[in-house]
Amino acid sequence: MDFALVVQTILNGLANGALYAVIAAGFVLVYRATSVVNFAIAEFMLIGAYLTYTMSLFFPLLVALLLALPLAFAFGVLVERGFVRPLLGRNVVAVIMATIGLAATLDGTALILWGPDQKAMGAADISQLPKEMPNLAFSMGGVFLSSKAVWSLILALPLAILLVTLLKYSRYGVLLRAVSESETAALAMGINAPRVVAVAWGISAMMAAIGGAFLAGAAGGGGPGHHLVLLGLIVFPVAILGGFDSVPGAVVAGLLIGLVEAFSQLYLESLLPGITQAIPFLIVLLVLLFRPYGLFGQHRIERV
C-alpha cells in the first residue's frame, strides 16, 4: 500500500469530514436547545451559499464569506422567531412536518430570489471567471492537498472545535445546557431562554453557511445550486452516528464519515459502484441496531 496515498486520503477525508462536522454541529446545537429536528438544514446550507455568492459579487471571496456569516446568523434568528417559536410546545410530529415544509419554502424562496441559472462564486455573468479564496493547495512528499481541503482544515475544523469548547466552558454554553435540560427551570432561574434558543438557531445557520459556501465552490470548482441539498443529506447520518444530542459527537462523527467516504471512494467504489453514497446510511442502520444513542449520545432510560 502506498503510504503517501494513505496519508493523502486521510487528510482529504478529514477535510471533507470537517465540513460535515461543522454543519452537523450546528444541526445538533439546535436539537439540543429546542428538541427540534431541523429537516431544513440542507436548505440552510443553500441559503448560506447564496448569501456568500451575493457578497462575492462585490467583495473578494474571503471577505464575502466573512460578511455572509452575520447575514446567515440573522437568517437563522429570523427563522426561529418567525417559524419555530410559534410551534414550540406543539406535538413533535407537527414540528417535524413544519420543518419539512420550511425546507420546501426555502427551496422555493432561493429559486425566486437568486433565479434558476447556474452560478459561480463572484461571477455576475456568464463571461466572467469565478472568484476563489487564495489558493493554498500544496504537494509534499507525494501527498497533495487541494486548496479546498486546506481551507476546510484551517477554517471549518477549528470552528467546529471552537463551538464544542464554547459550549463546554463559556457562559452561553452553560445557559444553553441549562435550557436544553429544562426550559421551565431555566426561565425560573431568570435565564432569557428565548434569546438563548434564537442564538442557537443563528449559530446553526452560520455553521451551515460555512459548509454550504465551501461545498459551493468557495475554494474553487463549483457553484451554489440545488445540488447542495443532495449533499446536505449527509448531516443526518453524521448526527445519528454522533449521538444526535452531542455536539462533540457530531464533530467526531463528521470526521469519521469523511474518512470512511474517502477510503470507500478510493478502494471500494470500483468494486461496488454506488457504495460510497450508501455507506453513511449503512452506518446509520448499524448504529440504530446496535447503539441507538450513537457514539456520544446520552443513553436515556425511559420509565413508563
Partner 1 sequence: MKMNRRQVLKAGLAASTVYSPWMIARAQARPVKLAAILPLTGAFAFAGNAALDAFRDATDRINDAGGIGGRRFELVVEDDGYDVARGTAAFNRIVQRERPDELVFVYGNSTGLSKALAPEITRLQLPYTATSFSNELADPKTYPTIFVFGPTYNDMAGALLQQIRRQRGRGAKIFLCYSNSEFGRDPIPYIKEQSARLGFQIVGEEVTPLAIADATPIVTKLRQAQPDFVILQGYVLTVEPILVRAAREQGIRATFMGTYYSAELALMQRAGAAADGFIVAYHNAYYYDTTVPAVEQIRALRRAKGRDLSYRTTYYMGSWMAMDVIAEAMRRAAAAGKLTRPGMIEALEGLGDYNAGGQVRNLRWVNRRLPFTKLWRANVRDARFDAITDWVDGSKL
Q: Is 34 in the site for partner 1 (CB under 8 A)?
A: no
Q: Could you say which of 31, 106, 148, 186 contacts partner 1 (CB under 8 A)?
A: 148
Q: Where are the alpha helices (DSSP H) in 80-156?
A: 92-114, 147-151
How far is residue 140's CA from residue 302's CA, in Å, rounded to a whole number?
53
Write out the three cell numbers for 2.
Answer: 502506498
Among 70, 116, 134, 158, binds partner 1 (CB under 8 A): 116
Tell me how far, at minimum, the Cβ of 13 lies from partner 1, in Å: 9
Grid-cell match 431555566, residue found:
186
With vertex at residue 75, the alpha carbon angle to CA 252 and CA 238, rounded to the nearest 5 degrees, is 20
Cα separation values, 230 from 65, 115, 158, 216, 233, Å: 22, 19, 25, 12, 6
Task: Give the nearer residue to partner 1 in terms of CB position, either 4 or 189.
Answer: 4
Quick one: which of 3, 5, 86, 189 contacts partner 1 (CB under 8 A)? 5
Out of 89, 141, 190, 273, the only residue in the binding site for partner 1 (CB under 8 A) is 273
Residue type, 102: L
Query: Smallest gap, in angstroms, from Cβ of residue 289 to partner 1?
Result: 25
* Neighbour tally for 184: CB within 10 Å: 9
Q: Can you tell me the distance from the alpha carbon of 285 to that of 122, in angstroms, rounded to the nearest whole number? A: 40
**137 sits near partner 1 (criterion: CB under 8 A):** yes
125 touches partner 1 (CB under 8 A):
yes
> CB atoms < 10 A from the CB of 22, how many?
29
Residue among 189 and 272 whose Cβ is closer to partner 1: 272
CB 35 within 8 A of CB 298: no
Contact status: 107 vs partner 1 (CB under 8 A): yes
The residue among 95 and 250 lying less far from partner 1, judged by its C-beta, is 250
Does 271 contact partner 1 by CB under 8 A? Answer: no
Tell me the residue ranges of DSSP E strands in the chain: 138-140, 143-145
- Applying the rule CB under 8 A, the residues between 247 and 266 that interact with partner 1 are 262, 265-266
Of 190, 274, 290, 303, the one binding partner 1 by CB under 8 A: 274
The nearer residue to partner 1, 153 or 167, going by C-beta atoms, is: 153
DSSP three-state, residue 138:
strand
Please give the grid coordinates belonging to residue 171: 457562559
Alpha carbon separation from 68 to 47, 87, 115 (Å, rounded): 10, 28, 19
1, 89, 93, 118: which one binds partner 1 (CB under 8 A): 118
Question: Does 220 sit near partner 1 (CB under 8 A)?
Answer: yes
3-state secondary structure of 67: helix
Residues found near partner 1 in the complex (CB under 8 A):
5, 8-9, 12, 15-16, 19, 107-108, 111, 115-120, 123, 125-130, 132, 137, 139, 144, 146-149, 215, 217, 220-223, 225-231, 234, 262, 265-266, 269-270, 273-274, 276-277
